[in-house]
Amino acid sequence: MKHSSALSPNMSFATARLPAGRSRRAIRLRRHARAYVFLVPSITILVVFVGYPIVQSFWMSLHNWSFFATVQPYVGLQNYENLWHDSRFWGDLRNTAIYTGTVVPLQVCLGLALAVALQRNTSINKFFRSVYFFPVISSLATMGIVWKFLLDPTIGIITHAMVAVGLPDIDFLESTTWALPAVILVGVWKGVGFSMVIFLAALQDVPESLLEAATLDGAGPWARFRRVVLPGLRPSLLFSSVIATIASMQLFDSVYVMTGGGPIFHTETLVTYIYLEAFDYSQPGYAAALSWVLFVLILGISMLQLRLFRYAEVN
């Protein structure tokens, strides 16, 4: 009989001397080596086209950068200090906050209302779902051009319809009062279909047995919605709110096409300002600093939303 401690023919002496944990790690690494090889192209693309630009943008924000200069003077946090004293930045931040604070609640609430109204799989409901979802798959720049013509005081259908019913003739996109609400209207119209589809999918996962039990207990439609349906929609509410917030704070297309940031910067957003600083005013270093401030704001607000929804779920 062979001794139980004898080495296997396929096991080297060096491997036998390795501790059990290290041996298992080595075997696992060899087993996953091929998977890591297949990941190399994707990781390379992420590093080159995502990681490097992020690091480079922060490096640019610390310099008085110029596209045409051979030397880029290091200025440290001077760009961020200039930003703090930039009244145009604070005005654009206010516009972005107003836009986001209006579009996100309206988009989420209207999307939820449409999802509840169109929940049944009838032919007419499917038609209206397509109608409301169509703006989502359309280019925002293209839709901005369409709305610019609709709101035009000379040839716009909306302006002529208002005059026909006795309302005043308003040049919406040139009014310091109505330009931002017009952009907000386009933003809600563009995004409400996205929230609707998210909630339609979530409504399918609400257990029918819970609704039946609530009905047997005497709960009315509003009580069933508030006590049964709405708690089941919390993950979808979180997802829709976060995505809508990120998209709203990055608003550029419709503003650039419809108003160009006017009149008198009343519709200019942070992303519009970043674009102008980088490409019109040739200040990419300052634009990079603006970009990092916007990134921190989006990250902070997203984390706050995650915190609030998690708190609600625990309770």
In this predicted structure, the answer to whether residue 83 has a pLDDT above a threshold of 80 is yes
245 or 30: which carries more pLDDT confidence? 245
Give residue-wise pLDDT tens across range 249-279. Answer: 999 999 999 998 989 899 999 999 999 999 9
239 and 131 within one domain = yes
pLDDT band at 229 (very low <50, low <70, confident <90, very high): confident
Q: Is residue 7 part of a domain?
A: no
Domain that holds residue 36: 13-61
Count of structural domains, the chain: 2
Q: Is residue 69 part of a domain?
A: no
pLDDT band at 232 (very low <50, low <70, confident <90, very high): confident
230 and 121 within one domain = yes
Give residue-wise pLDDT tens across range 197-222. Answer: 999 999 888 877 777 787 777 777 78
309 or 261: which carries more pLDDT confidence? 261
Reduced 3-state DSSP string for the chain:
CCCCCCCCCCCCHHHHHCCHHHHHHHHHHHHHHHHHHHHHHHHHHHHHHHHHHHHHHHHHHCECCCCCCCCCCECCCHHHHHHHCCHHHHHHHHHHHHHHHHHHHHHHHHHHHHHHHCCCCCHHHHHHHHHHHHHHHCCHHHHHHHHHHHCCCCCCHHHHHHHHCCCCCCCHHHCCCCHHHHHHHHHHHHHHHHHHHHHHHHHCCCCHHHHHHHHHCCCCHHHHHHHHHHHHCHHHHHHHHHHHHHHHHCCCHHHHHHCCCCCCCCCCCHHHHHHHHHHHCCCHHHHHHHHHHHHHHHHHHHHHHHHHHHHHHHC
Residue 184's CATH number:
1.10.3720.10
198 and 99 within one domain = yes
Q: Is residue 49 part of a domain?
A: yes
176 and 208 within one domain = yes
113 and 54 within one domain = no
70 or 164: which carries more pLDDT confidence? 164
